[in-house]
Structure 1
C-alpha cells in the first residue's frame, strides 16, 4: 500500500443511506479520514476485525486514486488514474456513543483493517462509471448495490472541497460514500466486492 498517502472518506453521500441511519442529508460534503494502518487488501484470505466492541457494519464504496496534485479546473481524467472498491468498516455502537457525546468518529472508523481495498483498475470515463453498478455480497447474497450517478456530491465537488480544507495530492485515495443496505457482519462471513458482474475482491471475516 506504499502508493497511498492519505485516506479520505465521504459520509452520507447517498440519500437512502442517510435515511436508513436516521441522519439528515448533508448540505456540504461530510469528510473524515482514516490512518493508513486501516488499509487491508482483499486477497481471498481472512481479515481480522474487532469482535468485542459491539456491532461491526460493512459500508461498500467506490474508491478513487488521485494521480496528481489538485488543480482547480483539471478534468477528472487528469485528476484520477485508478479506481477500486472498498469497505469502510464501522463500529456502529461505538459510533453512536461518540455521536451522542459530540466526539470525533476515529475510534469507530479508524481501527486496523477498517479500510478494505480491492486491487486498483484503470479509471474509465464517467459514462462507463455511470453505466456500471458496484455491489457487495455477503455469503453470496447481495446486500448492497450502488452507482456513482446517485451520489449527493459528485467527484468534482468532493475533490475541490477536500483540496480546499485538507489538501489533495498524488497518492491520496477517496472512499466516495456508501449506498443503502449497510448491516452487520459475523465471524466467518465471506464478503465479495463486485464491479458489474466481475468480482474485484473477496475475503473472510475473522473476528478477534
Structure 2
C-alpha cells in the first residue's frame, strides 16, 4: 500500500495544441505548480464548485512515485514509477483568468478541495508503455478530449527528473503530466466517461458531475 501523497505536482502546457487553444506560448521549460493533498478526490466523485464561474475539465495521465526522489536523472525517475492512471485536473477558468490578469498566483483556481480527481491506480511494468498510451474523455457521449502520451513536449521521465531538481518527491507523491487540447466547462448532471488504452489493456471509468455552492 502506497502512502497518501504529500503533494500533487502538475505541469502546464505540456501539449502544444492545448497551449495553442488557450493562446498561451509554449514555455522554454516545464511550467510546474503544486496541488495540496487536500485537493484529492477519487472516481466516481466529481464535485465542482458552482459559485465561481466555469469549472473546466483537463484529462491527464497521472503517475505515482514509490521512492524519494531528489535531484535525480531521467533513468532513476523512470524506475520509480510503479503505478499510473488518469486524472481530472479541474480548473476554475474564470477565477484563473482574473488572477492571472492581476499578476496573482492562481491556487484558488487549481488547488481547491476536489480539484484533482484520480481514477483507480493501475500497476505498470514499464514507464514506456505509459508514455505510449492513449486516452480520451467524453461528456454525455460527446468526445471532448483525446490524448496521446507520445505528443508530450516533455516526456514523463524527463518531467519527473526536472521536478526533482526543484521539489523533492516523497513516496506516494503524484505527478500530473499535462492535458491535451479540448478542455472546456463541466455542467452539473453531466455523465463523464474516461477511457485509457495502455498497451493491450483498456480501462474505462465513469462519473456523474455534481455541484456545491
The TM-score with structure 2 as length reference comes to 0.90
Judge conservation of contact 1:67–1:81 (CA < 8 Å) in 2. Answer: yes
Matched, 1:37 2:41: no
Change (3 A) 1:180 1:58: same
Judge conservation of contact 2:189–2:209 (CA < 8 Å) in 1. Answer: yes
Deviations 1:8-50 (A, max 9, x none): 111110000000001000110101111111111103xx53210
The residue correspondences of 1:68-83 to structure 2 (distance < 5 A) are 68-70=67-69, 72-73=72-73, 74-83=75-84
My pick for the range that moved more, 181-190 or 134-143, is 134-143
CA distance in 1 between partners of 2:205 and 2:193 (Å): 6
The residue number in structure 2 matching 1:129 is 130
CA distance in 2 between partners of 1:153 and 1:131 (Å): 13
Change (3 A) 1:8 1:77: closer
My pick for the range that moved more, 129-138 or 50-59, is 129-138
Shift of 1:77: 4.7
The residue correspondences of 1:79-98 to structure 2 (distance < 5 A) are 79-98=80-99
CA distance in 1 between partners of 2:112 and 2:91 (Å): 9
Secondary structure in 2 aligned to 1:97?
Answer: helix
Secondary structure in 2 aligned to 1:201?
Answer: strand
The residue number in structure 1 matching 2:167 is 166
My pick for the range that moved more, 120-129 or 166-175, is 120-129
Change (3 A) 1:126 1:161: closer
The residue number in structure 2 matching 1:156 is 157
Shift of 1:88: 0.4
Judge conservation of contact 1:49–1:112 (CA < 8 Å) in 2. Answer: no
The residue number in structure 1 matching 2:65 is 66
Q: Which runs of 5+ in 2 are unaligned?
A: none
Secondary structure in 2 aligned to 1:37?
Answer: helix
The residue number in structure 2 matching 1:54 is 53
Judge conservation of contact 2:132–2:149 (CA < 8 Å) in 1. Answer: no
Matched, 1:201 2:201: no
Shift of 1:169: 2.1
Change (3 A) 1:6 1:22: same
Shift of 1:148: 1.2
Query: How many pairs were matched up?
Result: 206
Q: Runs (4+) of structure 1 moved beyond 4 Å? A: none
Shift of 1:125: 2.5
Shift of 1:142: 1.6
Shift of 1:193: 1.3
